[in-house]
Amino acid sequence: MKVLGIVCSPRKGGNTEVLVQEALRAAAEHGAETELFSVAGRDLRPCDGCAACRRTMKCHIKDDMQALYPKLAEAQGIVMGTPVYFYSVTAQAKIVMDRTYLFLRNATNLRGKVGGVIAVAGRAGAGNANMLMEGFMVLHRMHPVGGLVAHSGGAGVAEADPEENPQADKGRVAGDERAMADAFRLGRNVVRQLQRDGVK
Binding site for ligand FMN (CB under 6 A): 9, 11, 14-16, 83-87, 120-125, 152, 154, 156-157, 169-170
Q: Closest residue (Cβ) to ligand FMN?
A: 14
**Residue 84, C-beta contacts closer than 8 angstroms, at least 6 positions apart:** 119, 120, 121, 122, 124, 125, 126, 128, 129
Q: How far is the CB of 93 from ligand FMN (least distance, A)?
A: 11
Rounded Cα–Cα distance for residues 127 and 45 (Å): 26
Q: How far is the CB of 199 from ligand FMN (least distance, A)?
A: 29
Rounded Cα–Cα distance for residues 145 and 196 (Å): 12
Cβ nearer to ligand FMN, comparing 61 with 122: 122
Q: Which of 23, 42, 27, 29 is nearest to 150 (CA)?
A: 23
Q: How far is the CB of 179 from ligand FMN (least distance, A)?
A: 11
Cβ nearer to ligand FMN, comparing 29 with 164: 164
Cβ nearer to ligand FMN, comparing 123 with 185: 123
Beta-ladder partners of 53: none
Cβ nearer to ligand FMN, comparing 125 with 144: 125
Query: Could you count the other beta carbons within 10 Å of the beta carbon of residue 116?
Result: 30
Q: How far is the CB of 124 from ligand FMN (least distance, A)?
A: 4
Cβ nearer to ligand FMN, comparing 5 with 14: 14
Rounded Cα–Cα distance for residues 163 and 144 (Å): 40
Q: How far is the CB of 15 from ligand FMN (least distance, A)?
A: 4
